[in-house]
Structure formats: C-alpha cells, structure tokens
Structure 1
Amino acid sequence: MNRLFFTGRVAATPVLSNHGDSKVAKFTLISNEYAGRDEGSGETKERQVRIQFTAFGSRGEVIARNVLKGDQLIVEAKLSNNDYLDGQGVERYGYNFTVDSFEFGAPGEPRRAQLARRQE
C-alpha cells in the first residue's frame, strides 16, 4: 500500500457533500517547493504545488467542521487510480489522494482572526 505524507495550507475551506450513505470532504493543500536559483540574481526560486484530497466519513466531517482556508494540515494519504470513460467513450486516467489520517497544524489568518475575536 502507498503511504504518502503531505504538509500544506488549505487553499479554500473544505466542502462537505454526501456520497451515498457517507459524507465526503474535498480540499486542496498548497505547499511551496524549491525550484532552483534565478540565473541573474542567484536568489532561490520556489514553485507552488497544489494537491487535491478526499476524506470520507468521520474524517471528512471533522475536517469540514474544523478547517478554514489557510489552516495547515499534516495528511497521511493513499494514492488510488481514478480511471473512467468519458462521455465520448475515451478512457481517461486520473488519481485520487484519499486521507487515511491527519493532524491539525498551525492556524491560518482566518482562524487567527476568529480566535482573536473570541478573546476580546
């Protein structure tokens, strides 16, 4: 089994939906990774990486209820194929990162503002 670990900031507040009898939360993590050095200035360059995740059942409910845009999440996920035939009968290949476990990291700006209002 694939066990993959990711750390990043949530791109937008997760969306919770129904999938049969189960709840499903979808969210995207953003992180920056090293992308070399600028030839002219020698400064370090970074590129933004976005990865979409799916969390089922109680994991999805907890994430949707407690995570806001900008919050940091540490996610353990498994990679699975998401192949299908499109409307024209062409086979499309994809993948899905399914959350196995997660931990809350540092709060993002919206969460910090929310916490500050509570302390007033």
Structure 2
Amino acid sequence: MNSLKNSVRLVGALGMDPEVKTFDTNKKLAKLSLATNDSYKNDKGEKITDTQWHNLVIWGAQAQIAGELLKKGDEIVVEGRLSNRSYVDKDGNKKYISEIIVNEFLKVGSRN
C-alpha cells in the first residue's frame, strides 16, 4: 500500500520533443510536457474538452531512451510520483512548479 501514497498514472500526448541534458557525472535528465484531455457536456449539451498540461521529468538511462524514442505529438503512458518545488528566477522572484517524476513510460502511438 505504500506505493499508492504518491502515485500518478497519465495517458496523453507530448507537447514538445524531450529536452535532454547531460551533467558532469554523465547523469541524464529529460524534461517533457504532456497534455491530457477530459471531455464533458455542459448545460447546453455542448461537448467541452478540458486540456491539462503536466511537466514530466525523467532521469538516468530512461532519459536517454526518451530523447531517442519520443517526439512531439506522441501518445505515451507514464507512471511516477508528484513533486512540488520552488526556485528563484533570474529576476529574484520565487516560482512554484509541480512535476511528475517518471518511473516508467510507454509509447503507445505517434502522430504519424
């Protein structure tokens, strides 16, 4: 049951090609954005689609694979955990960000 405490599973389309960075220690980091859609009908019976954007972070060997395999528009499934953090931008303003730290991903379709 411990694995359910902070667990996220999403299916969506990539909004960008992965940005892969390699650090001095050869550790790799990939950043991606994922769009998920939810549809419902409003009071007038019109179909409304609500799109949510999620920031994904992938570390290690999977980051390298993501950089080679994934492209903008691909449909993927991710499993990971939610992480909230803050940082100070170049103007000295404190910013807050929520990210999904990806444990596993699976490409299920491509835009082509």
Shorter-chain TM-score bucket reads 0.7 to 0.9
| Structure 2 unaligned residues grouped into runs of 5+ | none
What whole-Å deviation, never above 9, does each CA across 1:36-60 have from its counterpart, x for those lacking one?
A: 4262xx2211121111101011111
**After TM superposition, which residue ranges in structure 1, 4 or more long, deviate above 3 angstroms?**
84-93
d(CA) in 2 for partners of 1:102, 1:50: 17
CA-based RMSD? 2.0
| TM-score of the superposed pair, with normalisation by structure 1 | 0.76
- More strand, by proportion: 2
Task: Report the structure number with the largest CA radius of gyration.
Answer: 1
| Structure 1 unaligned residues grouped into runs of 5+ | 110-120
- Identity in percent: 24
d(CA) in 1 for partners of 2:92, 2:71: 38
- More helix, by proportion: 1
Aligned length: 107
What whole-Å deviation, never above 9, does each CA across 1:39-94 have from its counterpart, x for those lacking one?
A: 2xx22111211111010111111111001111111000111221235567665433
Q: 1:93 to 1:103 in 2, by over 3 A?
A: same
Query: Which residue pairs with 1:56 in the alignment?
Result: 59
